[in-house]
Structure 1
């Protein structure tokens, strides 16, 4: 087989890149290690920056999102009962969109299938060869048979545990990591959301987040030990702990009910530099991870895709390699700013082991400062809706 671009990974970032390339007439093949139903059943975040929203619209894939998604003009930051509403519309003249990652993936698959573009599922043992030459290729196993795709460029959109980053020699990459000493216990419940906007809550009892998927489906999180067994938490214990961590006005009105999913997510910050090695490019979790505080995971992947798609279109349409040569530096400039914001939010809102009374008072003071400072609220809003590409 032969194509111009091999995309390793059939999740949102690989599919989004594929759609950009399809629209530009750049032939590409996606390799995915799982089945399509497996990919569609992954439950992930659903807060979209305006840049991600605009990409989907520009690709002609935003109709269902605009019909079924929820535009949010702000979010709530609280400490115990002290609340600050961060007004996105006021400070940035824009919004964020609440639309589940599963729904985005569904729309992207529909777009790819409508284009007749190829996805090869259930591939294993992917290897990337000759990335430093002008004739790279990818080999993989499917149904017990070894196959090869010759190409001109390779996009690694295969996540933290994928083959792409590992194909870059250790001496050619530098990795930065911070592992947080706690996790998020999250549930998906068939209940009405407690509030029309997200609530990020720190309290004397710990961190909690109130989110949603739609008007009858809520997503709630509480900070927990990363080693906890989610099944050891009864539904009643979760609801009691959540109520204990959010402002009283919401705790008194929250609707509890059927829990349809329960899991624990670890929190980690990670960046690999560079994000390019010869004709291999890294996108999304293959190159970087942020803690979920601040909702940057999918959105940072989307910004990588924007830069890489722009670079490849510049090369194939105008024979200009400038975008390709500058991809890593351009992407990393924005990634580190998103990492900083997620790190700041995580430090503001969580309880850390051995946290001193002074540290605790600093968190309270920071929330109080947010409450009183228009400028501080503007900075948070600008980062939350997404910095410009």
Structure 2
């Protein structure tokens, strides 16, 4: 088989890139080692920047999002037992869209099927080859047979643990990492959210986040030690702890109900440089991970897709290599800004075990300055809604 672009990974970044390429008349094939139902069963982020919303519309996969998504004009920072609202729209004339990653993935899958795009699921032993030459190809096993797809380019959209980054020679790659000394214990439940906007809470007992996937499905998190055991947390214990970390008005209004997903996620910052190796391009979590505090993980993957799609479109339209040559530099410039923002939000909102009294006073002063200064609030809002591509 031959195609122009092989995309490894059928998560939202791979599907979004595939659909944009299809819309531009660029032939592509998506490969994934797991099945469609497994992918749709993964629970992930749900806050979309305007840039990603625009890309979904450009891909023709935004109809349900536009009907069911929740545009948010602001969010709350809670500390000292009080709410302090950050007016995103008033400060930036932009807003975010709350719409679950699972829904984004489902919509992109449906759009790909409707437009005849080829996705090969349950493809074992996927491996990119020859990406340091002008004749790259990808192999995979399925049905007891090894298959080969020749192509012009390979897009590695297969996540942190995927084969794409692992295939790059170690001496060609530089990585940067910060592991945080706590995790997020999260639940998903079919209950109305405690507030119509997100609440980020800084409390002496630790951070808490009240988020949502819809007006009837809530996603809540609390900071916990890395060695915490999920079996030690009943739903009742979780809700009791969440109430303690929220301002009184929200604690009183919290509606509880059985969770259908409960997990503990570690937090880390990770960046791999560069993001291009010959005809192989790393996209999204294959190249970078950010803590979820700033809601940047999925949105960073979308900005990578934007830069790579522009480069590939220009290459096939007029044989210009400028876009693909500059892909890594353009993507990494935005990546590091988002890494900085996610790090700063994490440091500002969480209680670190080694902070000490001085560090705690600095954190409190930072929060107070942030909500009392329009310039500081604007800088926060600009980063939260998403820096321009």
Does TM-score exceed 0.5, indicating one fold?
Answer: yes
| TM-score between both structures, scaled by the size of structure 1 | 0.99
Report 1:48-63 matches (<5 A). Answer: 48-63=48-63
Aligned positions, number: 389
**Alignment of 1:353 onto 2:331:** no
Distance in 2 separating the partners of 1:154 and 1:227 = 38
1:86 and 1:381 in contact (8 A); partners too: yes
1:231 and 1:262 in contact (8 A); partners too: no
- 1:197 maps to 197
Taking structure 2 as the reference length, what is the TM-score of the superposition?
Answer: 0.99
Q: Partners in 1 of 2:195 and 2:152 — Cα distance? A: 49
Q: What are the equivalent positions in structure 2 for 1:253-268 lying under 5 Å apart?
A: 253-268=253-268
After TM superposition, give the deviation of residue 82 of structure 1 in Å.
3.1
Which residue number in structure 1 is paired with residue 293 of structure 2? 293
Partner in structure 2 of residue 332 of structure 1: 332
1:25 aligned residue:
25
The answer to whether the aligner puts 1:211 opposite 2:214 as a matched pair is no
Corresponding residue of 1:86: 86
| CA distances 1:266-294 after superposition (whole Å, capped 9, x unpaired) | 10100000000000000000000000001
CA distance in 2 between counterparts of 1:377 and 1:248 reads 24
Quote the offset at 1:346 in angstroms.
0.3
Counterpart in the other structure of 1:144 = 144
Structural RMSD (CA):
0.8
1:364 aligns with 364
Unaligned runs of 5+ in 2: none
Q: CA deviation at 1:232?
A: 1.6
1:155 and 1:252 mapped to 2: Cα distance?
48
Task: Give CA-to-partner distance per residue, 1:93-140, whole Å, 9 cap, x none.
Answer: 010000000100011001100111101111121221111111001111
Counterpart of 1:249 in structure 2 is 249
Alignment-derived partner of residue 319 in structure 1: 319
Q: CA deviation at 1:143?
A: 2.9
The answer to whether the Cα contact below 8 Å between 1:14 and 1:30 also exists between their aligned partners in 2 is yes
Q: Secondary structure at the match of 2:292?
A: coil
What pairs up with 1:87-102 in 2 under 5 angstroms? 87-102=87-102
Q: CA deviation at 1:306?
A: 0.3
Shift of 1:246: 1.1
In 2, Cα distance between the equivalents of 1:224 and 1:109? 35
Q: Which residue of 1 aligns with 2:157?
A: 157
CA distance in 2 between partners of 1:226 and 1:242 (Å):
18
Q: Using the alignment, how far apart are the partners of 2:152 and 2:192 within structure 1?
A: 49
Contact 1:175 1:271 in 2 (8 A): yes
8 Å contact 1:124–1:140 — kept in the other structure?
Answer: yes
